[in-house]
């Protein structure tokens, strides 16, 4: 019995030592993971991203370039991380066309929602420029950056034109910026920003509607007043929607 008692004590002691080592190792791993997360967050430090949706008929009506196509819906210009209006791109992370083309579904979606309107720039060149200039500011992989951008843009495209139409904003009409803003806020429940540009006839056109997105690129957030800067849209009375 004494031998059994001693053996049991040794077993309990061994288990206690093993549990302590496992707990220490687990804690060490957790600390290491947290440290890596902090390092990653510091390396990709930005406040939010801007999803820029451009109106093709305005883009192609400025007289500055030739368009290859003029879609009848808003298309993506880009998803741009913002830190004091800029980001730190990783110039060593270049666009990988083969990686994108390996995802046929994503490529098809991008051809539809994120086309290059410039006749002198192929889709692949446009996407590559957006990835290298803006996407590399995030901690996302290339295809994840493209997919999250398309997902957010698809949600907007399903609602934006109809929301504008409910406020009387249809092609060929002109309205004050406040009318555009109220249409988006009521239809999408989001506070956007706007970009405008004059055409050759000096008419101010609605060029882009931009939406604020969280750092992960997963959810829309309202653009705070501190993020909204005055643009050409604020310098005129009515803005045309061609």
Does 176 participate in catalysis according to the annotation?
Answer: no
CB 214 within 8 A of CB 177: no
CB neighbour burial string for 106-122, b if at least 16 within 10 angstroms, e if fewer: bbebbeebbbbbbeeee
Q: How far is CA 2 from CA 5, 6, 7, 14, in A?
A: 5, 6, 9, 18
Helix (H) or strand (E) holding 53: strand 48-54
Task: Tell me the C-alpha distance between 35 and 26, whole Å.
Answer: 14
Q: What percent helix, strand, coil does the chain show, rounded to 5? A: 50, 20, 35
Residue closest to 76 by CA, chosen among 112, 119, 129, 122: 112
Helix (H) or strand (E) holding 78: strand 75-82
Query: How many CB atoms lie under 10 A from the CB of residue 80?
Result: 23
Residue closest to 170 by CA, chosen among 217, 213, 206, 219: 206
Does 175 participate in catalysis according to the annotation?
Answer: no
The dihedral built from the CA positions of residue 190, 191, 197 and 202, taken in this order, carries a sign that is: positive
Q: Which of 130, 132, 175, 208 is catalytic?
A: 130
Q: Which of 66, 124, 134, 208 is catalytic?
A: 134
Q: Which of 77, 132, 175, 208 is catalytic?
A: 77
CB 93 within 8 A of CB 132: yes
Q: Which residues are catalytic?
A: 77, 130, 134
């Amino acid at each position: 019995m004494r031998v059994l008692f001693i053996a049991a004590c040794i077993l309990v002691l061994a288990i206690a030592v093993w549990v302590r080592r496992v707990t220490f190792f687990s804690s060490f791993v957790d600390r290491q993971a947290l440290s890596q997360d902090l390092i990653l967050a510091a390396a990709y430090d930005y406040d939010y991203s801007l999803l820029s949706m451009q109106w093709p008929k305005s883009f192609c009506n400025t007289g500055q370039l030739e368009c290859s196509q003029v879609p009848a819906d808003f298309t993506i210009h880009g998803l741009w991380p913002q830190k004091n209006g800029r980001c730190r791109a990783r110039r060593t992370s270049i666009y990988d066309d083969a990686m994108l083309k390996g995802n046929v579904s994503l490529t098809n979606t991008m051809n539809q929602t994120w086309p290059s309107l410039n006749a002198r720039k192929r889709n692949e060149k446009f996407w590559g420029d957006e990835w290298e200039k803006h996407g590399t500011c995030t901690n996302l992989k290339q295809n994840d950056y493209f997919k999250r951008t398309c997902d957010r843009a698809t949600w907007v495209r399903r609602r934006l034109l109809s929301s504008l139409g409910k406020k009387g904003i249809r092609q060929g009409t002109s309205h004050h910026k406040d009318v555009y803003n109220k249409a988006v806020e009521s239809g999408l429940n989001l506070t956007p920003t706007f970009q405008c540009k004059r055409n050759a006839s000096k008419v101010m056109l609605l060029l882009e509607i931009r939406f604020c997105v969280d750092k992960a690129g997963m959810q829309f957030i309202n653009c705070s007043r501190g993020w909204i800067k005055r643009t050409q849209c604020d310098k005129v009375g009515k803005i045309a929607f061609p």
